[in-house]
Amino acid sequence: MTDTYIELPESGGSGATDVAELTPVTDGSLAGAGEIGEIFTSTVAAATGAGVGATGVFGSVTSLALGAGVWAITAVGAMSQNGATMSSPFVFGISDSATGVGIGQFAQSRYSFLITDDDVQFPTPEIIVSIAGATTYYLNSFFNYSAGSPEHYGQITARRIR
């Protein structure tokens, strides 16, 4: 038989556990600043050319500044051809760089098919990050195009998990 236990945080140095930190809410309220479950979201709701990179170069859709902690970050990117002549691949990903440097293969969604519609949305994989100090995370886009100006928009969300 194996013992199972939950390590509870100490409160105020007295050795007592503050159970209120672990109590779920029943009134629909959000977690407070610094609490597990705290959520930050940044949204660009309409297609825009602002932040789109040159062809074959990452651009930044939007970003979130996060404090120290362990965070689960997800995003949904969307694109509008806006008359551009597009070719594959195109990518949406999460990075700690506005230029997409550091986007690993598991932090991005890469698409290699022809888009014939505008306003197509693409989810990115969730990433878990542990940061010791203030860090900004970006939802980035990458398009190959030969004419016109594609547009992007989307949302990035971070949830404190520790």
The pLDDT of 7-15, averaged and rounded, is: 54
Distance from first CA to last CA of the chain, Å, rounded?
29
Distances (CA, A) of 10 to 6, 16, 21, 79, 160: 12, 6, 10, 47, 19
Checking if the pLDDT of 106 tops 90, the result is no
How far is the C-alpha of 150 from the C-alpha of 57, rounded, in Å? 13
Structural domains of the chain sorted by starting position, each given as residue range(s) with its CATH number in brackets: 34-160 (2.60.120)
Mean of pLDDT over the chain: 84
Nearest to 86 by CA among 60, 59, 113: 113
Residue whose structure tokens are 């002549």: 85
Distances (CA, A) of 106 to 10, 93, 125: 35, 9, 7
Of the ranges 17-31, 54-68, 73-87, which one carries the lowest mean pLDDT score?
Answer: 17-31
Please tell me the pTM assigned to this model. 0.80
